[in-house]
Amino acid sequence: MVGLIFLLITLSFSADIENGKRIYDEWCAQCHGYEGDGKGYAENFSFPKPRDFTVGVYKFKTTVSGMPPLDDDIARTIREGLHGTTMPGWKRLSDKDIEDLVAYLKTFAEDAFEDMEDIEIVKVGTVPKCDERMIKLGKELYHGEAKCIDCHGLAGRGDGEKIWEPKFKDDWGNKIYPVNHTHPWEFRRGTSLKDIYITITGGIDGTPMTSYLDSLTDEQRWSIACYVRSLFLERKLGPSIRFVKVDRIPEGPKDPIWDQVDYLDLPMAGQVTIEPRNFTPVLTNVRIRGVYTDEEVAILLEWSDRKKNTGQDGLPPDVLYLKFPQKLSEGPEKPHFVIGDRKRAMYIWRWSAAEEEAKELIAKGPDRIRYQEGSDVRVSYHYDKGLYRVMFVRKLDTGDREDLVFEPGRFIPFAVSVFDGQEGEREPVKGTVSAWYYLILEPPTPIRVYALPPAVFLISIGIGLYLHRRLKEA
């Protein structure tokens, strides 16, 4: 009897590999491959690529560099997913199912999990409070002794010089980029001080991100973690942005006026509705702000890009489209958000890193794009430490019947497309896109009448959430 109870207990505590395989084949194999070798259907539709489990190397774990992960580490990745990648979180699976999955994943590389007795875990201790002194020390180390900038870049945007060396790959031979430290939403493991400390201490196995356990003291590693967190951008999401009236149009993208006005962050996703599609986008965010005078409107767009492409190396140049409906409608109808459609034309401001001047385009779909003669739009831009800042200026009313008029107090829909030359993206559709948002030139004394009509508001939030969800999954 005692024996039977014991048997039942062990059975209920030991993982059911068969169950793990069943769930894996149903939910994981399309990306990770039925043999666990990363060769599922999604292999070429994902950056980074799904993990090949047959090597037995895991990136996100709490053990020291070179050691296999704990079961809990693998379980956490499955439950939470990996932000900024196509690896979704599986919160709907039960703890038991996840335990069975972990047991099954380990069968793909049994050798790697043989010596679990001597495993060493990254000791975390008490998490300190970041203060000015630690952030300053962290900054010195980040730029100096620890050489984080070699890969993560001078401003932390993941654009360090080392990343262009041909051997800068992961252990599976795939392209890899260092995480952009100003974009917390792209961190795979997590953004808490403790997560960052574990990454610095244990490194990320299978990638060029090495462990600093032996080369830096505990305090130094916490200080660098504090500095990394100090680089985080505060992302402001929402359906609309207000442009305020100013005395003069900013002189350029670096004019201090820009630091005083509100901004809106636009989540970007790969364009996958029209051929040629982009399943491996890198850009995740564009920040927009604007101001106007009695005569003109100025709009600034900012986004991270690891390399400036003006058409060199046989790659296309970097290009941005700021897109509006050509005609404003009273209802929520708008042109198709990628590049317009037969029924509704888009009016586009185009900037290219290869050209001095901005262009105006009228688009009614990918194969019906017309460049206007001359240009009513001025553009100036600046590229520094992995950040583009592009400023457009145009008359509120150009007098040209084909051009949209910027009437203060009116909600004007806009959307953005970006084409990153380094990634082989190209106009007019193979790039990243935002959903539709609204801008309003705020009248000096705002009146209630100008509130966003409720229906329009709800619809734009709906699309925003849809893209947002897709982004989290993408």
58-66, 235-243, 298-306, 450-458 -> range binding ligand HEC (CB under 6 A):
58-66
Contacting ligand HEC (CB under 6 A), which of 67, 101, 283, 439?
101
Q: Does 108 bind ligand HEC (CB under 6 A)?
A: no
- CA 271 remoteness from chain centre: 14
Alpha-carbon distance of 277 to 280, in angstroms, equals 9
Q: Are 288 and 301 in contact (CB under 8 A)?
A: yes
Q: Is 174 exposed, middle or buried (0-12, 13-18, 19+ CB in 10 A)?
A: middle
Stretch 212-231: interaction string toward ligand HEC, x if CB under 6 A? x-----------x---x---
Which of 438, 374, 441 has its CA nearest to residue 406? 441
CB nearer to ligand HEC: pick between 207 and 309: 207
Tokens matching residue 160: 């360090």
State the number of binding residues for ligand HEC (CB under 6 A): 50
Q: According to CB under 6 A, which residues from 115 to 144 bind ligand HEC?
A: 142
Q: Does 56 bind ligand HEC (CB under 6 A)?
A: no
Alpha-carbon distance of 439 to 199, in angstroms, equals 40
CB nearer to ligand HEC: pick between 49 and 306: 49
Beta-carbon count within 10 A of 354 CB: 13
205-213, 232-240, 419-427, 437-445 -> range binding ligand HEC (CB under 6 A):
205-213
Q: Are 304 and 231 in contact (CB under 8 A)?
A: no
Contacting ligand HEC (CB under 6 A), which of 76, 106, 189, 287?
189
Contacting ligand HEC (CB under 6 A), which of 48, 56, 239, 366?
48
Q: Does 106 bind ligand HEC (CB under 6 A)?
A: no
Residue 134 backbone class (left: φ over 0; alpha: ψ -120 to 50; beta: rest): alpha
Closest CB 32 distance from ligand HEC, rounded Å: 6
Alpha-carbon distance of 190 to 182, in angstroms, equals 13
Q: Does 162 bind ligand HEC (CB under 6 A)?
A: yes
Residue whose token pair is 């037969």 = 342
Q: Is the peptide bond before 48 cis (omega within 30 degrees of 0)?
A: yes
Sign of CA dihedral 434, 264, 468, 152: positive
CB nearer to ligand HEC: pick between 105 and 320: 105
Enumerate residues 6+ apart whose C-beta is below 8 A from 35: 54, 108
Beta-carbon count within 10 A of 6 CB: 10
Contacting ligand HEC (CB under 6 A), which of 21, 28, 420, 439?
28
Which of 126, 146, 251, 164 has its CA nearest to residue 209? 146
Q: Are 291 and 298 in contact (CB under 8 A)?
A: yes
CB nearer to ligand HEC: pick between 170 and 420: 170
Q: Does 437 bind ligand HEC (CB under 6 A)?
A: no
Tokens matching residue 197: 């400390």
208-216, 243-251, 361-369, 434-442 -> range binding ligand HEC (CB under 6 A):
208-216
Contacting ligand HEC (CB under 6 A), which of 21, 139, 183, 188?
188
CB nearer to ligand HEC: pick between 228 and 346: 228
Q: Does 148 bind ligand HEC (CB under 6 A)?
A: yes
Residue whose token pair is 């145009």 = 394
Tokens matching residue 240: 């609309």
Contacting ligand HEC (CB under 6 A), which of 39, 43, 71, 85?
85
CB nearer to ligand HEC: pick between 115 and 150: 150
Closest CB 110 distance from ligand HEC, rounded Å: 16
Contacting ligand HEC (CB under 6 A), which of 17, 27, 232, 332?
27
Q: Does 358 bind ligand HEC (CB under 6 A)?
A: no
Provide the binding-site residues for ligand HEC, judged by CB under 6 A.
Answer: 27-28, 30-32, 42, 46, 48-51, 58-61, 74, 77-78, 82, 85-87, 90, 101, 105, 142, 146-148, 150-152, 162, 176, 178-179, 187-190, 196, 199-200, 204, 207-209, 212, 224, 228
